[in-house]
Amino acid sequence: MDRLRNFGFLIKDVSRLSGLNFERHSVELNLSITQCKVLAHLQRNKGVTQVQLAELSEIDPMTLVRVIDRMEAEQWVSREPHPTDRRARCLVLKPAATPILQQMWRLADRARAEALAGFSADEKAQLMNLLERAHANLSALVAPAADVPQQEFTEPAKDQRKPAKEKVAKPQAKRAITASQKKLQHR
Task: Please report the domains of the chain, with CATH numbers, ordered by start residue.
Answer: 3-185 (1.10.10.10)
- Integer Rg of the chain from CA: 18
Q: What are the C-alpha distances in Å from 20 to residues 39, 41, 108?
A: 17, 18, 12
pLDDT score for 180? 39
pLDDT score for 161? 45
As a three-state string, the secondary structure of 24-82 is HHHHHHCCCHHHHHHHHHHHHCCCCEHHHHHHHHCCCHHHHHHHHHHHHHCCCEEEEEC
- Residue 44 near residue 166, CB atoms below 8 Å: yes
pLDDT score for 152? 53
Residues in the chain: 187
Check: pTM over 0.85? Answer yes or no: no
pLDDT score for 5? 92
- Residue 50 near residue 143, CB atoms below 8 Å: no
Quick one: which H or E segment has residue 93?
strand 89-93
pLDDT score for 59? 93
Could you tell me the mean pLDDT of each successive run of 10 residues in the chain, 187 residues long?
Answer: 90 95 90 92 93 92 94 95 90 96 95 97 97 94 62 48 39 38 40
pLDDT score for 153? 53
State CA 1 to chain mean position distance.
33
- Residue 129 near residue 139, CB atoms below 8 Å: no
Which of 162, 161, 139 lies closest to 150, judged by CA?
139
